[in-house]
């Protein structure tokens, strides 16, 4: 296996012409023969460079609307030949196949074509065939051939040529080959996903391709001894935290991203509504509120559980203003996520150099489709996103007393929050503010009691006459299997209950609600979040 290979002939065929002219000039200045196709050859000639058309190499014209131009033995022989193999060398001589030392290829813009909403015929035409074939041939034969698939690598290539006086080292070619195969794998993955999901309408295809591009390595994983990184999808995807602008603050950790995403997803539930503030700790909401102003919402959310809010994550559903930013700065906050922030808000946060401010530009559709993937030993668990939704018309009153209009509003608010709380989830809410949240317990009764306890502690701390659970609505993410959880909510002062229903003891639970004078509605839909 040869180490340094001199670049004498290069084949260039790119859809992205960024940096092409400068690269061509640099290669030509080193005496490299340039071979090219179609539009790439035209662009190089317009830059004043001598270029040999691929048809001069193959003795065949480009045909079939450019579908057939590089799929030829004189191209792939020049790429795949093992130069120090006598039989290969003889075949090259016998068939007048010239060696190709460098391939610069990037593929038809399949992703961009799909993203712009092109029709099926145009999408199919943007499935590259010759490009990936050349990439794979060159990468396989990296012992002798260098393959460049990204304009971002042009500077690295030119630096390599400068260092080696016109050649490439084996280590560099190995690096390029690895990148090239990752590129073709991601490209094929995008195509397979389009065929499976968009074209065929499959929910769970026989083969599931998942790919991502490294965004950044993180400081560490869930714990300091674990390594972690952030990847972004290759192909169409919903933009979110991974694409946000970090205005200030130190690097985000794995836990920061995980918690901030939980807050961001819940903030999206209130897109286009009254100002809302979400405070999250360890991926669970510990305070959620809407108000006439963002500051009012912040005060309501913080009062729900100001102990857990310390060192937490804050997300809002609208542009962050100075008054709210100043209030947030009164406690230790790890990350703040907002669609935007005004100059006053940015100025206040600038005084807290370690606080991370992430601006997302928008909020995603909380009812968007998609797949969630979780790894288990020996496999992957895949499910649809929990994008189910209910409204007033979907609720079924099951008690003797029907809820009031305000109780119904509080029920739906509590239900919205509960779907983002780890199971077993209990959420008390009143007037658009969470009164208490119980999360992640092994039984529903304990979640009810913990949420009520937090509300009682808040009332004592802030000097309220009574806990906010009094007169509240309570949401349960799944049915009450026994009446004890519901009775715990009644003891806390809740007057209305929203839950999926469906227990074999529903009649018992309904009877207990009637006896306590509660109004209760069934949703017919649960929202476990494990």
Give the max Cα distance, the chain.
97
Cβ atoms < 10 Å from Cβ of 233: 16
Query: How far, rounded to the nearest angstrom, does the alpha carbon of residue 461 sit from its chain's CA centroid?
Result: 39
Helix ranges (H only) for 228-379 are: 254-268, 294-304, 306-309, 322-328, 343-350
Point out the residues that are catalytic: 140, 282
CB-CB contact of 398 with 503 (8 Å) = no
How far is the C-alpha of 370 from the C-alpha of 203, rounded, in Å?
10
Cα atoms found within 13 Å of the Cα of residue 93, Cβ hemisphere only? 7
How far is the C-alpha of 208 from the C-alpha of 215, rounded, in Å?
22
The DSSP result for 401-415, as a single string, is SPPPHHHHHHHHHHH
How far is the C-alpha of 456 from the C-alpha of 304, rounded, in Å?
10
The residue written with tokens 């060192």 in the block is 311
User: Which tokens sit at 392?
Assistant: 């007033």
Cβ atoms < 10 Å from Cβ of 364: 16
User: Which tokens sit at 196?
Assistant: 């499976």
CB-CB contact of 34 with 10 (8 Å) = yes
Which runs of E-coded beta strand occur in 117-243? 146-148, 167-168, 212-217, 229-233
Cβ atoms < 10 Å from Cβ of 118: 15
How far is the C-alpha of 206 from the C-alpha of 495, rounded, in Å?
49
Specify the 3-state DSSP secondary structure of 504.
Answer: coil
Q: Which helix (H) or strand (E) covers residue 156, if one does? A: helix 154-163
């Amino acid at each position: 296996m040869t180490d340094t290979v001199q670049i004498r002939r290069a084949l260039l065929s790119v859809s992205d012409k960024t940096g092409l002219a400068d690269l061509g000039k640099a290669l030509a200045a080193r005496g490299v023969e340039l071979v090219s196709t179609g539009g790439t050859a035209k662009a190089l000639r317009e830059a004043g460079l001598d270029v040999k058309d691929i048809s001069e190499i193959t003795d065949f014209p480009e045909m079939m609307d450019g579908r057939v131009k590089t799929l030829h033995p004189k191209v792939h022989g020049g790429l795949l030949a093992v130069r120090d193999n006598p039989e290969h060398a003889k075949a090259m001589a016998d068939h007048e196949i010239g060696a190709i030392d460098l391939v610069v290829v990037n593929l038809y813009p399949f992703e961009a074509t799909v993203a712009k909403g092109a029709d099926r015929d145009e999408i199919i035409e943007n499935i590259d065939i010759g490009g990936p074939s050349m990439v794979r041939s060159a990468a396989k034969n990296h012992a002798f051939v260098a393959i460049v698939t990204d304009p971002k690598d042009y500077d690295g290539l030119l630096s390599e040529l400068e260092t080696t006086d016109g050649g490439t080292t084996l280590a560099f070619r190995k690096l390029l080959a690895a990148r090239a195969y990752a590129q073709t794998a991601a490209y094929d993955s995008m195509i397979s996903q389009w065929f499976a999901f968009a074209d065929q309408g499959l929910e769970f295809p026989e083969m599931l391709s998942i790919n991502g591009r490294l965004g950044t390595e993180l400081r560490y994983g869930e714990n300091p001894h674990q390594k972690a990184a952030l990847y972004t999808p290759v192909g169409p995807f919903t933009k979110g935290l991974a694409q946000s602008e970090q205005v200030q603050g130190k690097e985000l950790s794995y836990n920061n991203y995980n918690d901030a995403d939980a807050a961001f997803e819940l903030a999206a539930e209130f897109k286009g509504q009254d100002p809302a503030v979400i405070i999250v700790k360890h991926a669970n909401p510990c305070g959620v509120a809407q108000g006439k102003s963002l500051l009012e919402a912040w005060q309501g959310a913080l009062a729900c559980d100001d102990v857990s809010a310390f060192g937490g994550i804050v997300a809002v559903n609208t542009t962050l203003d100075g008054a709210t930013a100043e209030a947030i700065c009164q406690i230790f906050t790890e990350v703040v996520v907002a669609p935007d922030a005004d100059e006053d808000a940015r100025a206040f946060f600038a005084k807290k150099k370690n606080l991370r401010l992430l601006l997302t530009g928008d909020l995603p559709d909380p009812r968007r489709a998609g797949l969630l993937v979780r790894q288990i030993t020996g496999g992957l668990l895949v499910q649809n996103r929990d994008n189910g939704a209910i409204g007033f018309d979907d609720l079924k009153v099951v008690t003797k007393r029907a809820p009031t209009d305000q109780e119904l509003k509080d029920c739906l608010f509590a239900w919205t929050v509960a779907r983002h709380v780890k199971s077993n989830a209990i959420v008390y809410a009143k007037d658009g503010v969470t009164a208490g949240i119980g999360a992640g317990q092994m039984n529903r009764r304990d979640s009810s009691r913990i949420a009520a306890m937090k509300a009682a502690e808040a009332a004592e701390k802030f000097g309220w006459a009574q806990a906010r659970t009094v007169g509240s609505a309570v949401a349960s993410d799944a049915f009450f299997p026994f009446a004890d959880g519901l009775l715990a909510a009644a003891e806390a002062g809740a007057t209305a209950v929203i839950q999926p229903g469906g227990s074999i003891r529903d009649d018992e639970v309904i009877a207990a609600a009637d006896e306590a004078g509660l109004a209760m509605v069934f949703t017919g839909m649960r929202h476990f979040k494990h």
